[in-house]
Structure 1
């Protein structure tokens, strides 16, 4: 009898805990997209963090964003790849952060 009472109480606590967790809304953050489209940034400035992109992958990200003649790529102390590239006839400094955001400074 005590064992059955214990099982009923434990089951009730389990369901009460999971029901409470379901009532909490998802965190609302800026540009918190479920799926990012290619060429879409979630930041207008490079975000510092551990960057696992290789130089070739960083160059490909920049080229996917519409840049050509990507040169002088170097990873800085914040984990951001920085270099120079052309878009149309304009040349600018470009960067790729660990999230894949491509930004430029003209």
Structure 2
């Protein structure tokens, strides 16, 4: 009697986890997520690596990047036909500034 109940509970948990994963863009994609809050800290990305992460996030025409005193690579790029100011924090997150 306990086995069918346990099986039903396990199936419900797996279904719930799969649903949550399919509706969470951070789980679905390995692309960096665009955010508006930068994590301050020592940034070990080179300019070329930062440019690559920004381009992987869907930005084009990434201009010259410079690292500020908070460890954020910053510059300008094109997204959906619009010129935007962007940054990349030490965690690899793309920031809209």
Say which structure is richer in helix: 2
Find out whether 1:69 has 2:57 as its counterpart: no
* Aligned residue number for residue 99 of structure 1: 91
Out of 59, 76, 80, the position equivalent to 2:72 is 80
Find out whether 1:55 has 2:47 as its counterpart: yes
* Aligned residue number for residue 31 of structure 2: 39
Q: Name the TM-score, length of structure 2 as normaliser.
A: 0.66
Consecutive unaligned residues in structure 2, runs of 5 or more: 1-25
> d(CA) in 1 for partners of 2:34 and 2:80?
23
> d(CA) in 1 for partners of 2:44 and 2:37?
18
SS in 1 for 2:65: strand
Question: How many correspondences in the alignment?
Answer: 72
Task: State the shift of 1:64 in Å.
Answer: 0.4
CA-to-aligned-CA distance 1:24-62 (integer Å, 9 cap, x gap): xxxxxxxxx8x7942243964111000000000000000
Task: State the shift of 1:94 in Å.
Answer: 0.3
> d(CA) in 2 for partners of 1:44 and 1:55?
20
Query: Pairwise CA RMSD of aligned residues?
Result: 2.2
